[in-house]
Amino acid sequence: MTIRYKCRHCETEIGQLPFDSIDDQFLLKNELTLEEQDSYIEHGTEGNYTVNCICEDCQKSLQKFPNYYALKKWIQ
């Protein structure tokens, strides 16, 4: 099983964490609501997960242009 981290804006792969076995409760045991979990964590094939987060470059752009926060995906 792999947990993959990718930027939700530019879709750059940030990193991966390999795991032999991990259960959903461990992965999702945090402060996210169910709606946030659905929005940020994707369960893929073969038990893999993708966590949609923000890379450093996109974070810097968001700091310069805060109105981008209103858009779900601002890089076309």
Cα dihedral value 32, 37, 39, 40, nearest 10: 80
Residue among 29, 26, 27 nearest 4 (CA): 27
Domain boundaries, given as residue ranges, for the chain: 2-70
Q: Which tokens hold the place of 13? A: 């792969």
Confidence class for position 76, pLDDT limits 50, 70, 90: low
pLDDT in tens, 10-67: 899 999 988 765 555 555 556 677 788 788 888 887 878 898 998 999 899 889 988 8
Q: What is the pLDDT of residue 70?
A: 76
Q: Are 39 and 33 in contact (CB under 8 A)?
A: no
DSSP E strands, 9-71:
13-18, 41-43, 49-53
pTM: 0.73
